[in-house]
A = this chain, B = another copy of it.
Amino acid sequence: MAKSEISSQSTPQLPQVLLMREPPAFTLCGEQPFSSDKFRYLKAYESTLPLDQFLTTHAQSVQAILSSHNAPVTAAILRLLPEARLVVTTSAGLNQIDLPECRRRGIKVANSGTVSAANVADLAIALLIDVKRKISASNRYVKQGLWSTNEDYPLGSKLRGKRVGIVGLGSIGSEIAKRLEAFGCYISYNSRNQKPSVSYPFYHEVHELAADSDVLIICCALNDQTHHLIDKEVLSALGKEGFIVNVGRGPIIDEKEMVRCLMKGEIAGAGLDVFEDEPDVPQELFALDNVVLSPHRAVFTQESINDLGKLVVGNLEAFFSSKPLLSEFLGD
């Protein structure tokens, strides 16, 4: 009781954490898991001011920013916030944050760390089995009452013995590999550098990995090097029996080219949680049974929101009390 009195008395003096857009986690589950009595959120999206005016107005009081995959932190924004010293993000990926500019300005960055790795890996596996064994399509088939009138439902294909190429063997990729080994798949991978601790075959070139794979799973970070990494050449190397799963970021794949390949049967199917221009999804994909779509929810489950909330709050409270961050991003 004493605590809440102090908290409500001291609210005006609480340090502020800037939110430029509502994080998807807030939209999905409310603000409560991300709340603290040590700071309060300053919500640009609830103001009638244009963003730059809002930032200019609050320039002196913003030391910390909470970002999310849909809330970019650009150099132009950081120029308006000279006191900023921390960007925390609810996402695992950091592509929406101008990391060189943060470094130049001495701004620390903390992401969602490995909190969501298991969830993202689970969704990658779900999308893969779903598209290979036609789960969503067969669910619709049965629910439309077609089973009793139509015996022609097409067969799916097996997982055991399939060669899976993982693009990006970080915490998420490693969780994916562990699961796929239990299904009897053969794992290879591509990443910036070969991992000395890993025995899976390493491919320096993604198109060579694709050529030797039945399935390609994309779970690397999006940056200048990985933008459209999965291009026409890679998709063509994957081939018409090949499946692709993307739980990384939409722009890692040349989406137009992938849509063309899916429509022409130049690749066999896709399971996609992320897209180039979310929430817009290429409508050509809507009619394809060999494509399973998910609305960028790989990291989110009922359980993970609480874990993520604890980590976000922990990072922000640590910053405001000058303690080490819980999940500081120290560069690749």
Contact = CB atoms under 8 A, between A and B. Distances in A.
Nearest to A29: B155
A182 B147 CA distance: 33
A305 B156 CA distance: 11
A295 B138 contact: yes
Contacts of A135: 123, 126-127, 130, 135-136, 292, 294
Given A135-B126, A293-B139, A159 B118 contact: yes
Contacts of A28: 151, 153, 155
A6 B55 CA distance: 89
Contacts of A324: none
A308 to B, nearest CB: 12
A129 interface: yes
Contacts of A140: 136, 140
21 contacts: A27-B151, A28-B153, A118-B184, A119-B160, A122-B133, A122-B158, A126-B126, A127-B135, A130-B130, A138-B293, A139-B292, A139-B293, A141-B295, A145-B286, A147-B278, A148-B279, A155-B300, A155-B302, A155-B305, A156-B302, A178-B182
Interface of A: 24, 27-29, 118-119, 122-123, 125-127, 129-130, 133, 135-136, 138-145, 147-148, 151, 153, 155-161, 178-179, 181-184, 278-281, 283, 285-286, 292-295, 297, 300-305
Contacts of A285: 143
Given A122-B159, A130-B136, A179-B183, 11 more contacts: A125-B183, A130-B135, A135-B136, A138-B295, A142-B281, A148-B279, A148-B280, A153-B297, A155-B305, A158-B302, A182-B182
| Count of chain copies | 2
Contact of A126 (B29, B130, B153, B182): B130
Contacts of A182: 178-179, 181-182
